[in-house]
């Protein structure tokens, strides 16, 4: 689908659809390293995709689309982003409201001791507790099996079943094992949510970081516009598409399912500059509670302010597509679209929506850098973006 260039219209080497991590990183690399003229379009009125942050009416720095905590094990990704931001060291911690207590999640030694009134002091003792509760012979075919096989039914019900049902709108037994198996269970008292080598927040915020990424003079950004708005107005040789792959092909085989979240923001005055919660995020796994978690942004940003804003997550079926639903039939539907994408020689499909994958921010950056490297080496766009 590479367009034929016509005289009299703006000409770009590459058109990038989407100003989130995938599109912005590729635009920056193509412009700064290959000298390309790049046009970036985004249907929203801002850059930075779902990582967009802003100061609300109270002056509190917030994330419009829910909390985004950066963490990575990749020195390459860390090094790349460090060209565009200074960092505020930050290690994320989460508590879960269970049995009238707030206990660490991921489950660790402290969690077990508090819930069961124990005084386990070594990794071996905690592992023995898990082993007594677990059902290791259980065949791991879904998310329920993945947890029960590791820590048993009781902890599964307390921490995972209700939260998963609310978040996905499905029982864990209906979801791929990967949904819950990626959450660790610890035998130590390490209460950090992530264990990656690099954990930090952009010092001036995500939006400022994206402004620097997209600030190259070879990049033009057009907001409130999409592919359909510019396809007939500009000429370009290569297309980078980061939107939903099924939308690109006009839903030829049907829509790929996603879960969304409605973010409810509440602000409370904190004249003493104090914080409302002991940690950034409190999970609410119980199905009796209609939301899944509450996050206080000032924990993430380190901002000192006389007000504090929290985000309350209400998972829903309608809204912006955030989470690809990991079920076998959805994977098969995506593969049909992927086959179409492989035939589209002038287009690179990159990112969470274009690949129908649940990816962390660092994984999207890593994927975009990989696609750039293959493009720079002369690979055709479709091959450069191949999984």
- For 254-272, how does the pLDDT look when each residue is reduced to its tens digit (9 = 90+)? 999 999 999 999 999 999 9
Counting other chains too, the contacts that 221-224 makes at CB distance below 8 Å and 24 or more residues apart are: 221/19, 221/39, 221/40, 221/41, 221/42, 221/47, 222/39, 222/40, 222/41, 222/42, 223/19, 223/41, 223/42, 223/44, 223/45, 223/46, 223/47, 224/42, 224/43, 224/44, 224/45
pLDDT higher than 50, residue 1? no
Q: Parallel, antiparallel, or unpaired for β 307-316 and 101-104?
A: unpaired
**Mean pLDDT of the chain, nearest integer:** 95
Say how many C-beta atoms besides its own lie within 10 A of residue 253's C-beta. Answer: 13
Tell me the pTM.
Answer: 0.95
Burial of residue 345 (number of CB atoms within 10 Å: 0-12, 13-18, 19+):
exposed
pLDDT higher than 90, residue 385? no
To which residue do tokens 């921490």 refer? Answer: 159
pLDDT higher than 70, residue 4? no
pLDDT digits (tens, 9 = 90+) for 109-130: 999 999 999 999 999 999 999 9
Architecture in CATH of 11-47+214-256+325-384: 3-Layer(aba) Sandwich (3.40)
pLDDT higher than 50, residue 26? yes
Length of the chain: 387
Q: What would the two tokens of residue 306 be?
A: 């006389």
Residue 27 has a pLDDT of: 98
User: Cα dist. 12→1, 15, 154 in Å?
Assistant: 15, 7, 58
User: What is the rounded average pLDDT of the residues 227-256?
Assistant: 96
Q: Give percent of the chain with pLDDT exceeding 90.
A: 91
pLDDT higher than 50, residue 205? yes
pLDDT digits (tens, 9 = 90+) for 150-202: 999 999 999 999 999 999 999 999 999 989 877 899 999 999 999 999 999 99
pLDDT higher than 70, residue 3? no
pLDDT higher than 70, residue 2? no
pLDDT digits (tens, 9 = 90+) for 222-236: 999 999 999 889 999
Q: Give percent of the chain with pLDDT exceeding 70.
A: 97
pLDDT digits (tens, 9 = 90+) for 55-91: 999 999 999 999 999 999 999 999 999 999 999 999 9
Pick the range with the lowest mean pLDDT from 4-13, 56-65, 312-321: 4-13
d(CA 34, CA 13): 10
Domain-wise residue ranges, the chain: 11-47+214-256+325-384, 107-181
Instruction: Give the model's confidence band at 6: pLDDT under 50 very low, under 70 low, under 90 confident, else very high.
Output: very low
Instruction: Give the model's confidence band at 364: pLDDT under 50 very low, under 70 low, under 90 confident, else very high.
Output: very high
Residue 8 has a pLDDT of: 53
pLDDT higher than 60, residue 316? yes
More confident residue, 95 or 345: 95
Instruction: Give the model's confidence band at 387: pLDDT under 50 very low, under 70 low, under 90 confident, else very high.
Output: low
Print the SS3 string covering the chain. Answer: CCCCCCCCCCEEEEEEECCCHHHHHHHHHHHHHHCCCEEEEECCCCCCHHHCEEECCCCCEEECCCCCCEEECCHHHHHHHCCCCCEEECCCEEEEEECCEEEECCCCHHHHHHHHCCCCCCHHHHHHHHHHHCCCCCCCCCHHHHHHHHHCHHHHHHHHHHHHHHHHCCCHHHCCCHHHHCCCCCCCCCCECCCCCEEEEECCCHHHHHHHHCCCCCEEEEECCCHHHHCCCCEEEEEEECCCHHHHCCCCCCCCCEEEEEEEEEEEECCCCCCCCCCCEEECCCCCCCCCEEEEHHHHHCCCCCEEEEEEEEEECCCCCCEECCCHHHHHHHHHHHHHHHHCCCEEECCHHHHCCCCCHHHHHHHHHHHHHHHHCCCCHHHHCCC
d(CA 359, CA 367): 10
């Amino acid at each position: 689908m590479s367009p034929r260039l016509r005289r009299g219209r703006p000409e770009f080497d590459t058109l990038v659809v989407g100003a989130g991590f995938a599109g912005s990183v590729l635009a920056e690399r193509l412009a700064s390293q290959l000298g390309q003229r790049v046009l970036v379009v985004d249907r929203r009125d801002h850059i930075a995709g779902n990582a967009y942050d802003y100061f609300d009416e109270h002056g509190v720095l917030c994330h419009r689309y829910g909390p985004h905590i950066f963490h990575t094990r990749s020195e390459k990704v860390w090094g790349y982003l460090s060209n565009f931001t200074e960092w505020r060291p930050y290690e994320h911690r989460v508590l879960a409201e269970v049995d009238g207590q707030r206990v660490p999640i991921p489950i660790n030694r402290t969690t077990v001791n508090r819930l069961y009134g124990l005084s386990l002091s070594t990794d071996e003792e905690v592992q023995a507790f898990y082993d007594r509760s677990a059902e290791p012979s259980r065949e791991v075919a879904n998310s329920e099996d993945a947890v029960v096989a590791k820590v048993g039914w009781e902890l599964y019900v307390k921490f995972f079943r209700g939260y998963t049902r609310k978040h996905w709108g499905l029982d864990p037994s209906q979801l791929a094992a990967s949904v819950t198996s990626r959450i660790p269970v610890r035998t130590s008292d390490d209460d950090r949510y992530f264990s990656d080598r690099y954990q930090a927040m952009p010092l001036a915020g995500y939006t400022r970081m994206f402004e620097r990424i997209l600030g190259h003079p070879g990049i033009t950004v057009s907001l409130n516009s999409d592919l359909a708005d510019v396809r007939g107005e500009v000429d370009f040789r290569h297309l980078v598409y980061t939107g939903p792959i099924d939308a690109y092909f006009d839903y030829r085989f049907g829509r790929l399912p996603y879960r969304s979240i409605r973010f409810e923001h509440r602000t409370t005055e904190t004249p003493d500059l104090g914080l409302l919660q002991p940690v950034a995020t409190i999970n609410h796994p119980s199905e009796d509670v209609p939301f899944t978690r509450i996050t206080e942004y000032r924990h993430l940003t380190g901002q000192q302010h006389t007000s504090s804003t929290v985000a309350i997550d209400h998972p829903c079926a309608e809204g912006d597509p955030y989470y690809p639903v990991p079920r076998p039939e959805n994977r098969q539907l995506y593969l049909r679209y992927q086959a179409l994408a492989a035939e589209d020689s002038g287009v690179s499909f990159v990112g969470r929506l274009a690949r129908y994958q649940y990816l962390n921010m660092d994984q999207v950056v890593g994927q975009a850098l990989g696609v750039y490297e293959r493009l720079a080496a002369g690979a055709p766009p479709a091959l450069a973006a191949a999984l």
